[in-house]
Amino acid sequence: MKALIKEEIKKRILEFGFDLIGFTDTQIPDHIKKTYIYWIENNYFGDMNYMKQTMDKRLDINKVWKDVKSVIVVGKNYYKSIQYKNYKISIYALSKDYHKVIKKKLLKIFMELSKEFQFNFKIYVDTGPILEKVFAQKAGIGWQGKNSILINPKFGSYIFLGVILLDIYLEPDKPFIYDFCGKCNRCINACPTNAILDNRTIDANKCISYWTIEYKGDEIKIKFKDWIFGCDICQIVCPWNNKAIETDWEEFKITNVLNYSLEELLNLKENEYNELFKGMPIKRANYKRFKRNINHIINLQD
């Protein structure tokens, strides 16, 4: 029966248009725990205090949900080729909000499956205290690159992940045991702020994505060019993305934002900003911080 449930879940996930799926158990390897604790102890999380406050849950998924017995990880390619002007926005942000898009699709699938097979579930799409990339590697989806991002041999690193917790035990898949980064250090060498650490973690205090998305202060304290929301430099230079495949989900194909000049974006009124970025991840920065980011780039270009 359990084998049947697993095969049916896999079948429906792939039929729904997801590119990747894997199953694993709830355990987190000791070396991952040590790395995370080291990252916290050295204050590499910037002012994202929630990363420290939820550390116990991140290192023990049973503290997220005590009934969890299996973890499913799904992946969806979101890559699209971009022609930039005098500013850049991370590819993932040029789409409908992936949190909502993926969760809505997973809810539909698992509401049906849970009724058929009598199990309970919880869904997380980069929204809870879960080490998604760790479970993705354990589920056989890919390996964590030197830039900390999960890489799949077919789709590269432009992948959105979704995590489903089940209260039934399903046979785990084999973990992804290979490290295809090898001796390549392109991501490390290309990072203009030296944010990539040698243990496959990121120093948020130096990370462009952190400063343009997460940081809530009024003044950006590091120098960088072009990026007004997020940063894809370490992905752009990664050889595993040389043959990236264009996404086939319409929700992730938005590029109309790039029709605006930097000055036009700066001059947007708040209601115009809200309308232009409605339902998109870029709204996470909010109007004030979005303008802060643009001004930072303009000041450095002068």
Residues assigned a catalytic role: 126
H-helix or E-strand containing 112? helix 98-117
Q: How far apart are CA 272 and CA 288, in angstroms?
A: 13
81 and 246 in contact (C-beta within 8 Å)?
A: yes
Q: How far apart are CA 285 and CA 296, in angstroms?
A: 14
- DSSP letter for 227, please: E
Q: Where are the alpha helices (DSSP H) in 20-85?
A: 30-41, 50-53, 55-58
H-helix or E-strand containing 173? none
Cβ atoms within 10 A of the Cβ of 157, count?
22
- Per-residue burial over 165-200, b if 16 or more Cβ lie within 10 Å, else e, is bbebebebbebbeeeebeeeeebbeebebebbbeeb
Q: How far apart are CA 170 and CA 238, in angstroms?
A: 34
